[in-house]
Amino acid sequence: MSSSSAVLEQLTDILVRVLGCPPDSVTPDAVLKDLGTDSLTIVEVGEELGRRFGLYLSDDTIDSMVTVQDAIDAVVRHDGSQPPLDAPTVPSSWRTLHRRATRYET
């Protein structure tokens, strides 16, 4: 089981990298949308959290993450569930290409 402080540290790193938000804005009570997440980036954040902590966060779990604390709790309280056997996977080459893509502000 991961500690809240370890998850916050990793989550801060992910949000700074993905969203470009200042590290000091990532506090437990911060609202993820206020930090700049949208429906796509929240999935990216959730999947990266899962990779870093070796767990699977379901779509429902990711969708329920409203605040930074919600994301921390999702990892700390993770029940060890695995992805469904028929869960679609994304080819690793696509993930690499997606990570290198330039993000445009609107």
Instruction: Convert the pLDDT of each residue in 88-101 to its tens digit.
Output: 565 556 656 566 66
pLDDT of residue 17: 96
How many Å apart are CA 72 and CA 23, to the nearest integer?
16
AA identity, residue 60: D
Is residue 68 within 8 A of residue 27, CB to CB? The reply is yes
Q: Domain ranges in the chain?
A: 4-100
Which pTM does this prediction carry? 0.72
Instruction: For domain 4-100, give its CATH number from 3.30.230.10, 1.10.340.30, 3.40.50.12160, 1.10.1200.10.
Output: 1.10.1200.10
Neighbours of 37 (CB within 10 A): 22
Long-range Cβ pairs for the range 32-38 (8 Å, 24+): 32/65, 32/66, 32/67, 32/68, 32/70, 32/71, 33/66, 35/68
Instruction: Convert the pLDDT of each residue in 23-57 to its tens digit.
Output: 999 999 999 999 999 999 999 999 999 999 989 99
Place of tokens 């409203």: 66
Instruction: Convert the pLDDT of each residue in 11-20 to its tens digit.
Output: 999 999 999 9
